[in-house]
Amino acid sequence: MKLYFKILNILVVGIFSCCIFFPEVNSRAHLLADEKGNENRAKAQKPIFDLSKLDAYVREFNSYYSDNFNLRDNLIKFHNLFEYYIFNVSPAPNEVVVGKDGWFYSKNCVTNFKGANLFTRKELEEYRQEIIKRSQWSCKNGIKYYLVIVPSKMSIYPEHLPDHIVKVSEITRYDQVISLNNNADVNIIDVKENILNHKNDGYDLYQRTDDHWNDIGAYYGYEAIMRRLSVDFPGLSPIPIDDFKIATEEHSGNMTKMLNLEKSHPEIFLKLESKNKIYGYQGKKRNYPIPYGIADWDYEIVRKNDSGKKLKCLVIRDSFSMLLVKYFQEHFRKTIFIHNQWKGQIDENIILNEKPDIIINIMVETFIGSIIENPFIGKEEKIINDKFQLKTANSTFVCIGPADILYADKDKDDRSSEYAIVDLGNNKCALLSYDNYYLSAELGQMNEITTNRDKIADWETFTMIKLDGNHIALQAANGKYVTVDEKSLQLFARADAIGKNEKFEMVKR
């Protein structure tokens, strides 16, 4: 019996050791091919070794290795297939809902669909006032502003949801927002009604393995938008659907790719192709600063049409609006599409640069609350507070160092430690240095804090968290807190929680 347990222990230790060391052996011997993963994010890059920043190097190398060790994506894929086929559950329950009949949904749509997050009366009034503010500001600048909410896939095809997802209210945030459409300064376009009217025409309007609509669903959204625009701009009308032919192509949607099920769940994607000459063509970009997390090809799209109406249209969009490009480009002399990172924001600088006749602010129902979470701030509304300094827990002051990098290494204040707060509303702010440059979290690099920007964009926007007394913490656009590195005393946006090094005292000058 003792021999049996000894052999068993040896086998367990041997198998465990093989599992631990096999990825390293495989990286050299190439016994198994390394699968390519489907994660919708960039993997951590190998850091450059710097003896003076050893703590940071160890952290960054750990992130790099965790993202890039050999066979990592193979193991993730095996785990996903095992959970889906053996236990019939979603391998990524926080991301994907596995529905019936081969339908997959985005998990972040559930709360809206159930009606579990209705706006309070106060929030709904804030929403109305925000739309009025955007409309009136646009009107002052000779622009007509429209808000379009695209219904989620759950709202159009609830019949394929699993039984455990049950509505708690027949009214949703979508219904609440559409109900505001009773004011001359509120122009909200309801595309859901038109999409539902064509739901049973014989074609799916949203893809089963993706959380977006397809070309046909997008067409009916576009049709509703153009019909509303034609009320204010009589020369506009939607292109008849008979002017398009249906084409197909086989691939898999983003939901099944996230679960590594794309090979077992391919889908026929429907496309609409024009039967007539296409007049829209690619225009020259202005190359606006690209926010963190958006690809350069995706942020700014420009279409020109020499035969279009003498109107310029600015579309503030999210990923759903990509399929609207080919429709809108056939109507306007120039159409500019700007990705708003699912935040519902409109950028004053871009609007004033482009001087459009029409703004169409499009967002999916899931992020319908972002309108009041990210209110529009015009220049005249920005209030710059009195000068102050940031003092750390070690009683040093945050100052501008070489290459415009911020350090907390001065035990005496000087001009380079002076800042002013630019209030952007909703606890958002920008910090202006003594020489009139904005602090920026360099999220495309090492997340270091610099002060060399002359305009406010995402990297220059911080969430101010008020702590005890005059103490604050600052959260950058990547969700990380600004922290003081204990070795170099340099400031970075990379802390996951607020501790001693993330706490700053505001000292008025």
The pLDDT mean for the chain works out to 88
Of 154, 183, 177, 176, nearest to 166 by C-alpha is 154
Domain boundaries, the chain: 1-33, 114-242+272-373, 382-508
For the stretch 439-445, contacts whose Cβ atoms lie closer than 8 Å and that sit 24 or more positions apart, written own/partner, are 439/406, 441/476, 441/477, 441/478, 441/482, 441/493, 443/292, 443/476, 443/477, 443/478, 443/493, 444/292
Q: CB-hemisphere CA count at 13 Å for 214? A: 25
> 494 is written with which tokens?
């990379």
Q: Residue 381: which pLDDT band, with cuts at 50, 70 and 90? A: low
Of 112, 124, 108, nearest to 174 by C-alpha is 112
pLDDT at residue 115, as a whole number: 96
**pLDDT average, residue stretch 389-397:** 92
pLDDT at residue 73, as a whole number: 66
Query: What tens digit of pLDDT does each residue of 131-165 get?
Result: 999 999 999 899 999 999 999 999 999 999 999 99
% of the chain exceeding 90 in pLDDT? 57
Which of 421 and 237 is assigned the larger pLDDT? 237
Within 141-209, residue ranges assigned H as helices are 153-156, 173-178, 192-197
Chain centroid to CA 251: 24
Query: What tens digit of pLDDT does each residue of 452-496 get?
Result: 887 777 788 899 999 988 899 999 989 999 999 999 999 999 999
State how far the Cα of 254 lies from the Cα of 107, in Å rounded to an integer: 13
pLDDT at residue 383, as a whole number: 55
**pLDDT average, residue stretch 421-446:** 85
pLDDT at residue 263, as a whole number: 84
Whether residue 209 has pLDDT greater than 80: yes
pLDDT at residue 82, as a whole number: 61
pLDDT at residue 84, as a whole number: 72
pLDDT at residue 384, as a whole number: 58
Total count of residues recorded for the chain:
509
In order of 123, 128, 129, 144, 273, the CA distances from 185 in angstroms are: 18, 9, 10, 10, 36
pLDDT at residue 72, as a whole number: 67
Least confident of 7-16, 19-28, 180-189, 394-403: 19-28
pLDDT at residue 63, as a whole number: 78
The residue type of 193 is E
**pLDDT average, residue stretch 407-423:** 83
Whether residue 385 has pLDDT greater than 60: no
Q: Residue 41: which pLDDT band, with cuts at 50, 70 and 90? A: low
pLDDT at residue 92, as a whole number: 81
Q: Residue 185: which pLDDT band, with cuts at 50, 70 and 90? A: confident
Query: What tens digit of pLDDT does each residue of 273-314 get?
Result: 999 999 999 999 999 888 877 888 899 999 999 999 999 999
Whether residue 424 has pLDDT greater than 80: no
Whether residue 272 has pLDDT greater than 90: yes
Output the CATH code of domain 382-508. Answer: 2.80.10.50
pLDDT at residue 453, as a whole number: 85
Bridge partners, 437 (sequence order):
none
- Dihedral of CA 156/149/459/509: which sign? negative
The pTM of this model reads 0.70
DSSP state string for 240-272: PGGGEEEEEEEE--HHHHHTT-TTTS-EEEEEE
Of 488, 457, 493, 489, nearest to 474 by C-alpha is 493
The residue type of 141 is N
State how far the Cα of 134 lies from the Cα of 361, in Å rounded to an integer: 10
**pLDDT average, residue stretch 226-244:** 96
Residue 382 φ/ψ, nearest 5 degrees: -80, 125
